[in-house]
């Protein structure tokens, strides 16, 4: 198999101010599938076409934001190797036992220089997508319920030390830089988009003084019409929309940014191009074209993009 190492974003745990209000949003409007609740009161969801038990977890807390973002790796040997590589690089890691999250194996957790907690894990119970494995059906009720994204696609995280984060993800975790926005003087990056496979990005970071902030978790749709349908569903449900429907210049993905009831931004996203790890030259946006990178048709650096995080 050509794909090894870190495979993909696997889970995000986010904080909501009111659990049942959050459940109603993510289950009924976004259309995620609720797969369980644990003794800590956390609620587990998956997107309909994901096979693993969970990808998105809600925890009730006094402030919104991201608890941690996890990546699935190929197997246990890979998990152990990446743990050793992180430690050799000088990153302190913590082992969280299997079963701490429902249907999820042992996790390796570490803090990155932007102040975010990142996790790696190799095992999560496959519960299937409801289509079956023999002569699979191509449609289920869950594939039409609410916005109904197919998977958790990526996250954009805000915090300090983006250069050190880039170094860690590229030198230890096997990611490569797909796109970047330069600082005004062109000497560094204010934002970076990183891939571990041939998706246009699996995680992105933007420079921000406060550590550990969430800009958005993004959910994948398959067509532009589905993004427009997501906009209709948001309007009907009075979901506050931030930007879109529009297209990013960066990644060329089509998008809507909107907020959940606790003020966590989420994105419904489709498209973009498919890079490969031999794309040695990252696409580069100069700071004066940041607005075009964010919103290609309007070429507008929306104020909320820079200032509203959770």
Helix (H) or strand (E) holding 29: none
Closest approach, Cβ 218 to ligand M3P, in A, equals 6
Is 216 one of the catalytic residues?
A: yes
Closest approach, Cβ 25 to Fe ion, in A, equals 18
Closest approach, Cβ 38 to ligand M3P, in A, equals 30
Measured from the CB atom, the residue of 103 and 267 that comes closer to Fe ion is: 267
Task: Choose, from 121, 158, 208, 257, the residue flagged as catalytic.
Answer: 257
Q: 10 to 69, contacts with Fe ion by CB under 5 A?
A: none
Q: 267 to 286, contacts with Fe ion by CB under 5 A?
A: 267
The pair of three-digit structure tokens given for residue 12, joined into one six-digit string: 């995000």
Cα first-last separation, the chain: 38
Measured from the CB atom, the residue of 194 and 294 that comes closer to ligand M3P is: 294
Is 267 one of the catalytic residues?
A: yes
Is 154 one of the catalytic residues?
A: yes
- What is the SS3 assignment for 24? helix
Measured from the CB atom, the residue of 11 and 247 that comes closer to ligand M3P is: 247
Q: Is 247 left (phi over 0), alpha (psi -120 to 50) or beta?
A: beta
Measured from the CB atom, the residue of 9 and 22 that comes closer to Fe ion is: 9
Task: Choose, from 11, 25, 53, 201, the residue flagged as catalytic.
Answer: 201
Task: Select from 161, 272, 250, 240 the least CA-distant residue to 208.
Answer: 161
Which one of ligand M3P, Fe ion, none interacts with residue 293, CB within 5 to 8 A by kind?
ligand M3P
Selected range binding Fe ion among 43-51, 95-103, 227-235, 264-272, rule: CB under 5 A: 264-272
**Residue ranges binding ligand M3P (CB under 6 A):** 156, 191, 218, 248, 250-251, 253, 267, 269, 290, 293-294
Closest approach, Cβ 179 to ligand M3P, in A, equals 8
Task: Select from 46, 55, 41 the least CA-distant residue to 8.
Answer: 55
Place of tokens 């970076």: 192
What Rg, from alpha-carbon coordinates, does the chain have?
Answer: 18
179 binds Fe ion (CB under 5 A): no
Task: Choose, from 50, 119, 226, 267, the residue flagged as catalytic.
Answer: 267
Whole-angstrom distance, CA of residue 270 vs CA of residue 150: 10
Residue 11 CA to its chain's centroid (Å): 8
Is 179 one of the catalytic residues?
A: no
Q: 186 to 225, contacts with Fe ion by CB under 5 A?
A: 218
Helix (H) or strand (E) holding 130: none
The pair of three-digit structure tokens given for residue 245, joined into one six-digit string: 């429907």
Which one of Fe ion, ligand M3P, none interacts with residue 199, CB within 5 to 8 A by kind?
none
Is 248 one of the catalytic residues?
A: yes
Task: Choose, from 154, 179, 207, 208, the residue flagged as catalytic.
Answer: 154
Place of tokens 């995080």: 309
Closest approach, Cβ 259 to ligand M3P, in A, equals 14
User: What secondary structure does DSSP assign to 86-126, as a single string?
Assistant: HHHHT--EEEE-TTSSTTB--EEEEE-TTS-EEEEES-B-B
Task: Choose, from 106, 121, 216, 296, the residue flagged as catalytic.
Answer: 216
Is 257 one of the catalytic residues?
A: yes
Closest approach, Cβ 200 to ligand M3P, in A, equals 8
Whole-angstrom distance, CA of residue 150 vs CA of residue 22: 19
Q: Please state whether beta strands 203-207 and 93-96 pair in parallel, antiparallel, or not at all (unpaired).
A: unpaired
Catalytic sites, residue numbers:
154, 201, 216, 248, 257, 267
**Positions that interact with Fe ion (CB under 5 A):** 218, 267
């Amino acid at each position: 198999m050509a794909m090894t190492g870190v495979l993909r974003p696997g889970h995000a745990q986010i904080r909501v101010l009111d659990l049942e209000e959050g459940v109603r949003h993510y289950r009924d409007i976004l259309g995620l599938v609720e797969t369980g609740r644990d003794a800590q009161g956390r609620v587990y969801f998956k997107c309909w076409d994901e096979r693993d038990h969970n990808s998105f977890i809600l925890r009730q807390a006094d402030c919104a934001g991201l608890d941690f973002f996890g990546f699935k790796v190929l197997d246990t040997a890979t998990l152990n190797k990446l743990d050793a590589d992180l430690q050799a690089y000088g990153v302190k890691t913590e082992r969280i036992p299997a079963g701490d999250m429902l249907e999820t194996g042992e996790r390796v957790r570490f803090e990155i220089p932007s102040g975010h907690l990142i996790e790696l894990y190799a095992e999560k119970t496959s519960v299937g997508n409801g289509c079956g494995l023999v002569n699979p059906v191509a449609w289920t009720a869950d594939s039409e319920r609410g916005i109904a994204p197919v998977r958790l696609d990526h996250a954009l995280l805000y915090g300090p030390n983006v250069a050190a984060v880039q170094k860690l993800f590229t030198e230890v975790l096997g990611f490569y830089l797909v796109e970047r926005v330069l600082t005004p003087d062109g000497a560094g990056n204010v934002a970076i988009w990183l891939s571990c496979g041939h998706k246009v990005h699996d995680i992105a970071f933007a420079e921000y003084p406060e550590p550990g902030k969430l800009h958005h978790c993004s959910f994948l749709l398959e067509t532009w019409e589905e993004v427009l349908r997501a906009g209709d569903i948001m309007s009907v449900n009075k979901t506050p929309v931030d930007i879109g429907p529009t297209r990013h210049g960066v990644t060329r993905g089509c998008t809507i940014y909107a907020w959940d009831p606790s003020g966590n931004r989420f994105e419904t996203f489709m498209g973009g191009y498919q890079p490969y790890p031999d794309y040695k030259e990252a696409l580069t946006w100069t700071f004066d074209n940041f607005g075009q990178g964010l919103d290609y048709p309007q070429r507008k650096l929306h104020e909320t993009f820079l200032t509203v995080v959770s």
